[in-house]
Amino acid sequence: MHHLGLTRSSLKPDHLLQTPNTFIRTPLPGAEGVEFVVHVAPQLGARFTQMTAEFAAGGTLGPAPAQRFIYLLEGALQLTVNGKDHTLAPGGFAFLPQGPPHTVRALASSRAAVIEKPYEPLPSEANQSLSICVGAEASIASTPLMGDDALQVRSLMPDGPAYDFAVNTMTYQPGAALSMVEIHVMEHGLLMLEGGGIYKLGDSWYPVQAGDFIWMAPYCPQWFGALGKQPAKYLIYKDWRRHPLGSWG
């Protein structure tokens, strides 16, 4: 079915809104039984990739070219790393530093958000050991953003000087909103998980809903307000804890 060229998707120099009716699937090297929607990549100016991996039962990911973060959207995945098996249920996640090999196999038809980022080492040798981290979002305590109980943040990545990106979920009660328009050096990859609302990106305002993906370039003005009768929730990536001048910092 076609829609006479209509879509909510929009690409501007400082942001991308990509809605499911514009998703194109692609295979990637090493993965079997998996199709990928590559939402954002260095080809667009981003310094990371974010994809949705759609697994058939038994499908496997290929080796990671960089640090890898996985958040399971639906289904069940088995992660094997350092000789240990972990089963991820929806809301389960894993951070895998660059280097130690791992395997990811779908125990059922599954969908996962996959974020990959080349590691930016600190100039000093200190504090550079990164730990594998496997967890479940439901067991992470949430904190209100800037004291607003209607906007709760869960940090899924370990924090510390060695880690160069963060992945959080943000849950907005109906009517909750960011308390300010943010403009910052970090870029974002954002997957809407539940509900919807209005996203301001640059000088544009977009209705957004579960299933949509957004990339925000560094300094893209951004604001979100949740609409509707159910909470709105998104998964959000940002680069973190690195000097903008890179190895000079």
What are the residues binding Mn ion (CB under 5 A)?
Answer: 182
Q: How far is the CB of 46 from ligand UGY (least distance, A)?
A: 15
Q: Could you say which residues in the range 163-202 bind ligand UGY, by CB under 6 A?
A: 170, 178, 182, 188
Length, in residues, of the chain: 249
Q: Should residue 154 be labelled a site residue for ligand UGY when binding is judged by CB under 6 A?
A: no
Using the minimum distance from each CB to ligand UGY, give the nearer residue, 141 or 146. Answer: 146
Task: Please answer whether residues 222 and 196 qualify as being in contact, where contact means their C-beta atoms are separated by less than 8 angstroms.
Answer: no
Task: Please answer whether residues 154 and 176 qualify as being in contact, where contact means their C-beta atoms are separated by less than 8 angstroms.
Answer: no
Task: Please answer whether residues 99 and 68 qualify as being in contact, where contact means their C-beta atoms are separated by less than 8 angstroms.
Answer: no
Amino acid at 152: Q
Q: Should residue 233 be labelled a site residue for ligand UGY when binding is judged by CB under 6 A?
A: no
Q: How far is the CB of 73 from Mn ion (least distance, A)?
A: 22
Q: Should residue 222 be labelled a site residue for ligand UGY when binding is judged by CB under 6 A?
A: yes
Q: How far is the CB of 45 from Mn ion (least distance, A)?
A: 17
Amino acid at 41: A
Q: How far is the CB of 216 from ligand UGY (least distance, A)?
A: 7
Report the residue number whose CB is nearest to Mn ion. Answer: 182
Please report which helix (H) or strand (E) contains residue 103, including its range.
strand 102-106
State how far the Cα of 49 lies from the Cα of 42, in Å rounded to an integer.
7
236 binds, among Mn ion, ligand UGY, none (CB under 5 to 8 A by kind): ligand UGY
170 binds, among Mn ion, ligand UGY, none (CB under 5 to 8 A by kind): ligand UGY
Nearest to 19 by CA among 188, 191, 226: 191
For residues 229-240, one letter each, b for 16 or more C-beta atoms within 10 angstroms of the residue's C-beta and e for the rest, the string is eebbbbbbbbbe
Q: How far is the CB of 68 from Mn ion (least distance, A)?
A: 22
Q: How far is the CB of 14 from Mn ion (least distance, A)?
A: 13
Using the minimum distance from each CB to ligand UGY, give the nearer residue, 95 or 224. Answer: 224
114 binds, among Mn ion, ligand UGY, none (CB under 5 to 8 A by kind): none
Nearest to 240 by CA among 153, 169, 167, 154: 167
Question: Locate tokens 């667009």: which residue?
Answer: 44
Separation of CA 203 from chain center: 23
Where does this chain bind ligand UGY (CB under 6 A)?
170, 178, 182, 188, 222, 224, 236, 238
